Chain A
């Protein structure tokens, strides 16, 4: 790939589950070759970077996040060679690929753990956190409170307790052991050498343990991330590290590292609280849920970027936002059953918005214009539905709907063999809702989304520019400005279902002409007085403020 510094700041990411996208060999499960065969579609859509959840060898007790061999591909997805093929095909189209890497723990099926439990004095004896009792680090909270009662589990083989912040089948690696650090850095190198464009580092706040602390966000953890970054910068420039730290933004910014040098840990981090705030703001018809979280989001280093999303495979749970400031979330969410359900139950975007096209467009416009790189979730671009009768998170992991043909064009296997049934309900069923049909219809959500991505890419201000919220006279209207040099983009969003007027103080742009970005229509010039706009229910505008006043209306 051509090396462009900070490419990730302007990129549109697309999260795709290998299992769910396309099946190349008819075994009912999506695979790497299948995904590679759909790259033309992703290129056409305007995707710049794919994010693949883990495809490593795994007993699959935690969706592949329980890795049993860091250097092997899950056989049903293919081989390392198939992955190389995917990378080559993607790079040929200018699409990058990143994947998850779980640093914190392994599966208990990983040979390192098997060695460690059987040979305490062997080379892997100190690869995990062992203890004679379960009393240490008692200030660390239990994250999966529904399934785990302790962060320690007794291993009858070794006769000791091992430490795990997540499931008891996922022992934590012992980062105090330099050999573990080296081994994990070598894992990074292995995939980077193959050509991968970066990693989403899973569960980064928990790498180290220290008595008397909550064992999160420790300085030692940041030291190790700096080592990872150094490997990338020195040996693989242009690749990215994206932190998954489900914490409050003021804590997450620590994972970008030193502001003074433009950031020396992760290039990107997910902005977790923004997503529920967007839902809350539209539900409340008030900009404040969004204004507040953005006001509480600190500045980030120049070469860093937020990742923002509306939906992904892994939901925000309030339990993971451990900060007193979540009070706000509780007071708003806890009282409204529907809001509570939004974060608890796994739904896709379209059903969450009751298949309301206007809201779907408003949410997508917010995703594509708020500060950060947007991460789309596969299928949401066509407004795919979910299947709430499937267990837990499988509800939103059903096969991608390509065509009205058998198995939605996802696989030519016997329908009974497919890994999860395709969506067949009357509203979201694949017969009517699929890529093929939407490609043909100019007014489809898919074509609309593609057009918006295209517009976004014409203005670097969206990805690289400053963000400034503009106080709007109307509390149901969220207005902000994205600025990069002379490129000034004004975004105005009506969070209410009713039409709304708004007056914006654009005095500092007096004399400019707002040009609407999707259609190129020129609006009345900005003057000294407040700029007045009227928005339809759930409507939004993107304008470029141009100093170009052709058209003869200049006095």
Chain B
């Protein structure tokens, strides 16, 4: 593709810049450079893949190009090029279908390799529509059958989502959406995952609205014991614990484990994150000594830490309840983590801790800004204790070596809470009280709520 042809399909720089800077996922400030333009379909409408660079980061776009923009696509317009209209292709079913065709044929278009293992098609091609709530990535759902997820920001190398899904699928782990293919290309000379294709998990709901529905029911009801509340979530939390443990066991089986020698390095990282948080959040100061003591308690265990690949960003918004089981999604690791962060091995307790933190958020979110915190706080604590136990019991049924009261899990949970405190302080100060109350409870025995 020559530059003159690219001009025909990429909007004028000022139009593109204006659009990019309005996107929440775009973190660039400097000039935008168009690195590669690949036409995936000629004609009208045309489908174009664009690789952009800005401030050393890489982004990909899927553009549609039409002579005339129908009304239903006006909202997706980015600009114009060579007298034609350019818009986000994800909103155009005519163009999303082209992507699925490429996967079915395992096409190679210029540097882009579509690698697919799609089951034979028994009916017409399902219509591909954007998944509601476009965020860090954008997904196209094909008629409740496949999901194609594009990573907006590209980092050289295999994406953990692909690596972990492929490993888990090789042992038929039931708690993932089976992978069906990937879009790959080279980036800085390294094979890089641009998009992943999965089976769609039909009729799923995220764990977060299920857990919060349960909390709402319990807080509003007469039951003292959360297990007598109608909306009890514990049986689901228990099943979720089993699912997470199974995924961890399968990741150990397929991708192995590492024994980390002394835990010093691991503990040192906890201290470093606390150092950083203390610089920003005054409210953490009273807990510093307590936190450091809990971190150092990990060193008291002479056994080496067992490290493995984990989900890395597991919370109730990353688990999908299908009619038959729990499914873990989005194995991309920590948001905005470096490639090294994302591929790092960690103790399995990392994922356990993040789910427990998520349960705490579910229990406490209705308290933020509530009038009667004093009444609700002990009830939220009871809900949390009940569901924590159920989740850990479920996990331990599959992996008996989890120590729910062990120093390691406690330290990781506190570390996660510290990270949350810092994040909330920056972006949602009124929510800082949630992770702070968790830290206070562990260290002082009281869930101090200082709204």
Interface residues of A (CB under 8 A from B): 283-288, 291-292, 294-296, 331-332, 335-338, 469-476, 496-498, 503, 505, 507-508, 528-530, 555
Contacts and interface: CB of A to CB of B under 8 A. Distances in A.
Interface of B: 71-72, 127, 129, 132, 143-144, 202-206, 209-210, 213-214, 216-217, 220, 227-228, 230-232, 234-236, 238, 321, 323-324
Contact of A475 (B144, B210, B234): B210
Contacts, number: 82
A30 to B, nearest CB: 37
A287 B202 CA distance: 14
A472 B205 contact: yes
Contacts of A505: 144
Given A292-B323, A336-B232, A474 B205 contact: yes
7 residue pairs, one from A and one from B, having the closest CB atoms: A475-B205, A295-B323, A291-B323, A471-B203, A283-B230, A285-B231, A475-B210
Contacts of A529: 132
Nearest to A472: B205
A94 to B, nearest CB: 39
A501 B203 CA distance: 17
A217 B3 CA distance: 73
A525 to B, nearest CB: 13
Contact of A528 (B129, B204, B209, B220): B129
B205 A507 contact: no
B89 to A, nearest CB: 15
A507 B129 contact: yes
Contact of A294 (B216, B234, B323): B323
Contact of A508 (B127, B204, B217, B323): B127
Contacts of A497: 217
A516 B202 CA distance: 26
A90 B213 CA distance: 48
7 contacts: A285-B214, A288-B236, A291-B203, A292-B324, A295-B324, A335-B235, A470-B203
Contact of A471 (B143, B204, B228, B238): B204
A552 B430 CA distance: 48
A507 B127 contact: yes
Q: By CB atoms of chain B within 10 A, which of A284, A287, A470, A530 has the most?
A: A284
B121 to A, nearest CB: 17
Given A335-B235, A472-B205, A503 B132 contact: yes
A335 B225 CA distance: 11
Contacts of B71: 555
Given A296-B324, A331-B238, A476-B209, 5 more contacts: A284-B231, A286-B236, A473-B132, A503-B132, A528-B72
Contact of A288 (B127, B206, B234, B323): B323
B321 A530 contact: no
A338 to B, nearest CB: 7
A539 B143 CA distance: 28
A508 B123 CA distance: 15
Contacts of A295: 203, 323-324
A285 B217 CA distance: 8
Nearest to B71: A555
A291 B322 CA distance: 9
A287 B236 CA distance: 13
B199 to A, nearest CB: 14
Nearest to B207: A475
Nearest to A527: B72
Nearest to A497: B217
Contacts of A288: 205, 236, 321, 323
Q: By CB atoms of chain A within 10 A, which of B230, B234, B321 has the most?
A: B230
Nearest to B234: A335
Contacts of A498: 216-217, 220
B213 A469 contact: no
A422 B240 CA distance: 49
A177 B19 CA distance: 83
Contacts of A471: 144, 202-205
Nearest to A332: B235
B78 to A, nearest CB: 19
B210 A286 contact: yes
A396 to B, nearest CB: 23
Nearest to B204: A471
Nearest to B129: A507
Contact of A284 (B204, B209, B230): B230
Contacts of B236: 286, 288
Nearest to B202: A471
A291 B321 CA distance: 11
Given A283-B230, A286-B210, A474-B205, A331 B235 contact: yes
A15 B216 CA distance: 38
A291 B232 CA distance: 18
Q: By CB atoms of chain B within 10 A, which of A288, A296, A473, A475 has the most?
A: A475
A284 B229 CA distance: 8
Contacts of B216: 498
Given A284-B232, A288-B321, A471-B204, A335 B129 contact: no
A335 B232 contact: yes
A25 to B, nearest CB: 47
B323 A475 contact: no
A337 B232 CA distance: 12
Contacts of A530: 132
A331 B242 CA distance: 14
A475 B209 contact: yes
Q: By CB atoms of chain A within 10 A, which of B209, B213, B214, B234 has the most?
A: B213
Contacts of B217: 285, 496-498
Nearest to A285: B231
Nearest to B238: A331
Contacts of B206: 475
A433 to B, nearest CB: 26
A273 B324 CA distance: 15
A498 B323 CA distance: 23
B221 to A, nearest CB: 9
A336 B213 contact: no
A472 B321 CA distance: 12
B234 A286 contact: no
Contacts of A331: 235, 238
B183 to A, nearest CB: 24
Q: By CB atoms of chain A within 10 A, which of B214, B217, B220 has the most?
A: B217
A122 to B, nearest CB: 55
Contacts of B143: 508
Contact of B213 (A286, A294, A332, A528): A286
Contacts of A337: 228
Nearest to B206: A475
Contacts of A474: 205, 209
Contacts of B234: 335
A165 to B, nearest CB: 32
A473 B321 CA distance: 11
A555 B323 CA distance: 39
A296 B425 CA distance: 47
Contacts of B323: 288, 291-292, 294-295, 469
B213 A475 contact: yes
A352 to B, nearest CB: 13
A336 B127 contact: no
Contacts of B129: 507, 528
B203 A469 contact: yes
Contact of B227 (A287, A296, A335, A473): A335
A272 B236 CA distance: 23
A469 B72 CA distance: 28
A292 to B, nearest CB: 5
Contacts of A473: 132, 205, 209
Nearest to A477: B205
